[in-house]
Amino acid sequence: MAKAGEVKLIGGWPSPFVMRPRIALNLKGVEYEFLEEKFGAKSELLLRSNPVHKKIPVLLHANRPVCESLVIVQYVDEAWPSSGPSILPSDPYDRATARFWAAYIDEKWFPSMSGIMRAQGEEAKKAAIDQVVEGLSLLEDTFGKISKGKPFFGGDTIGFLDIALGCFLGWLRVTEKTHGLKLLDEAKVPGLAKWAERFCADDAVKGVMPETEKLAEFAKLIMAKFKAPPPQ
């Protein structure tokens, strides 16, 4: 067990990427100090700890920084191997499957979702929505195959892929609310819809998933930035 003060996480409450290591640390029962960054200004500590990207989250373990959310999650899994459940599966093929879909989520699915928020004009918005829906349908299939009837992608407990996807549920709800959509539709993606409820209710997630209302307010702030037409 880490002593308080030995583990710190630099982050911000609205960021789904920051949520990932928080869930991982919670699963492992590791105490940590949460260093909240002020929106719009980057702290000295952040710039020093992540000089390459200057982004959150950054984990500081005995003052050594680890950056990139999924790299941090894997680090937490490997640095505290005997605490809590395993986050990555133990079988090499299952691990590869989890990593493949996590990469898909980060490289394809999440950009398509933030594409809805940024779309200029109805046509562009519809195209972005279609992409997200298609992605969710693919993930629904994947959930069916990987979970094998268990509650999570990781089986009985939350695992790597649950964390990779689940962290976006807050933003997904804000997107649905803002645009009057039903993306996580029980009729179309029943497996994922139920999984989402279980994920958000889990002890490791409850305290770090922001309330939709609060997130929607925050979204209004940053949407103003995105919706401004690009300089010609």
- Residues near another protein, by CB under 8 A: 52, 61, 64, 66-68, 71-72, 74-75, 78-79, 92-93, 95-96, 99-100, 103-104, 138
- Closer by beta carbon to another protein, 113 or else 215: 113
Q: How far apart are CA 9 and CA 172, in angstroms?
A: 24
Question: Which H/E stretch holds residue 38?
Answer: none
- CA–CA separation, 105 and 138 (whole Å): 11
Q: How far is the CB of 209 from another protein (least distance, A)?
A: 25
**Which residue, among 60, 1, 62, 52, has the nearest Cα to 34 in the 3D structure?**
60
Nearer to another protein, 60 or 215 (CB): 60
Q: Minimum CB separation from another protein for residue 78, in Å? A: 4
**117: its two tokens:** 């928020």
Q: Which is nearer to another protein, 78 or 217 (CB)?
A: 78
In the complex, minimum distance from the CB of residue 143 to another protein, in angstroms, rounded to a whole number? 15
Residues 157/204, Cβ–Cβ less than 8 Å: no
- Taking residue 5's Cβ as centre, other Cβ atoms within 10 Å add up to 10
CB-nearer residue toward another protein: 90 or 229? 90
Residue 161 beta carbon to another protein: minimum distance, rounded to whole angstroms: 12
Rounded Cα gap, residues 169 and 146, in angstroms: 19
